[in-house]
Amino acid sequence: MPELPEVEVVRRGLAERVTGRTIAEAALHGARVARRHIPGPDDLAARLQGRTVRAARRRGKYLWLVLDAPDDEPVALLIHLGMSGQLLVERPEAPDERHLHARLSFDDGGDELRFVDQRTFGGISLSDLSADGVPLTIAHIAPDPFEAAYDEAAVVRRITASTSAVKRVLLDQRYVSGVGNIYADEGLWRARVHGGRPASSLTKPAVARILRHTREVMAAALEQGGTSFDALYVNVNGASGYFERSLAAYGQEGRPCRRCGTPIRRVAFMNRSSYFCPRCQRAPR
């Protein structure tokens, strides 16, 4: 599932393959992919035509292409992959994918950019950019741990002020962005903290350790091209990542903990699964 490392892999692919190119035509298949573009899919397609891609940027799990706007400030083509979205750069004559939702062709006649999404939790929209270069649409999303704007001490203060379970807070993109179910479990395992602990019951140094471990595990995953459980997460060239083999907790139910050998447990949490070592990560009473 695309979390920060996987989205960053995709961003790098876009930066390499799409930057500097001018959109000849945008074709949207169905309205759902553009549901967050309030003026509608036709408006989106029309406004993409003729614009040049100047940069590919990211905050947390959102990424966006900075596009030239004629006689105006640049705009952002904001993209979220949801849990099964893919951005593929491929030959125009490649057959349509089963869940193809959008296709951008370029005036150089080269490879197209396609948005393919089996579950359509993802989508694309146009957004104005704020003064700090972040799309206005995602102004409520906090900086991720790799940004200059990330203020660890401030994040720690906010997290310890919450009485919610610490894993719930880690997954809340308003506190820190980019963390999803996989890397939350991995970061908590590395920090030896149970995700069900109320955030307010943890010391500030303990919360800082969780954040640093989470950042480190995401950096390690990025080096491996991200985590791919199946063909749903791939980079712009259709290739999978290799971090799955390095996961210590997520998806490891019944397997011995890499530190102490105790079988990893799986429990339902927030309508999804949480994996943890019952010995290294003591549950709250």
Q: Contact positions toward DNA, by CB under 7 A?
A: 1-3, 32, 36, 60-62, 80, 82-84, 98-99, 118-121, 138, 140-141, 162-165, 168, 171, 173, 180-182, 230, 250, 266, 270-273
User: What are 233's two structure tokens?
Assistant: 């997460």
Give the nearer residue to DNA in terms of CB position, either 91 or 98: 98
Radius of gyration of the chain (CA): 20
Do 127 and 39 contact (CB within 8 A), yes or no?
no
* Cα–Cα distance measured from residue 108 to residue 28, given in angstroms and rounded to the nearest whole number: 20
Which residue of the set 91, 98, 272, 285 is catalytic?
Answer: 272
Q: Strands of the chain (E only): list them.
A: 23-28, 53-59, 62-69, 72-80, 85-90, 100-106, 112-117, 123-128, 265-269, 272-276
Residue 12 known to be catalytic? no
For residue 9, CA distances in Å to 135, 180, 218, 234 come to 20, 16, 12, 9
Residue number, 36 or 279, with CB nearest to DNA? 36
54 catalytic residue (yes or no): no
Annotation says 61 is catalytic: yes
Name which of 12 and 36 has its Cβ closer to DNA.
Answer: 36
Nearer residue to DNA within complex by CB, 239 or 260: 239
3 is catalytic: yes
For residue 187, the SS3 value is: helix
Query: C-beta of 18: minimal distance to DNA in Å?
Result: 21
For the bound state, the minimum distance from the C-beta of residue 52 to DNA, rounded and expressed in Å, comes to 26
Task: Give catalytic residue positions.
Answer: 2-3, 61, 272
